[in-house]
Amino acid sequence: MAQEIERKFLVKGDFKSSVVKDTRIVQGYLSSVPERTVRIRVKGEKGFITIKGIGNASGASRYEWEKEISTTEAKELLELCEPGVIDKTRFIVPADGDLVFEVDEFYGENEGLTVAEIELPTEETPFTKPEWLGEEVTGDVKYFNSMLMKTPFKKW
């Protein structure tokens, strides 16, 4: 099984001077139940289907399977998704070693929310926290994209 291990943080300062790449992402969910989310995503010019399992006790680790599909298929599947599409730009910011921060700046009903995630080889892997990294929200379900589509940031 493929395990995804990541930690998530709010962003409290300017990170854009360190960005090396950015990509627009539109995504929706065929299933948003925590035990098995099924996400459809158009990321730049590519389409993806992703299945994620429920997180562990810390919320940092869970099963993830992803497959690239055509953009046409992804757009068709987005039409079948539950209400509440997520629209964001993902910025890539290098971190120590081979690690990177993926910083998501949201639009629409989630405008004003910016979160950073770092994918790690283990939950114990140390990393340097840049000054713009704020409060850790790993495992806080209200920051899951599958929950942001149901209860957007602007309604908090």
Q: Is 147 left (phi over 0), alpha (psi -120 to 50) or beta?
A: alpha
Determine the number of helices (DSSP H) and then strands (DSSP E) in the chain. 2, 9
Told to judge if 29 belongs to the known catalytic residues of this protein, a careful annotator would answer yes
Task: Note whether 74 and 47 are within 8 A (CB).
Answer: yes
Instruction: Please state whether beta strands 133-136 and 46-53 pair in parallel, antiparallel, or not at all (unpaired).
Output: unpaired
Q: Which of 91, 87, 88, 119 is nearest to 103 (CA)?
A: 91
Q: Is 104 left (phi over 0), alpha (psi -120 to 50) or beta?
A: beta
Catalytic residue among 29, 63, 107, 143: 29
Q: Report DSSP letters for 93-141, one per residue.
A: EE-STT-EEEEEEE-GGGTT-EEEEEE-SSTT---PPPTTEEEE-TT-G
Could you give the residue numbers annotated as active site? 29
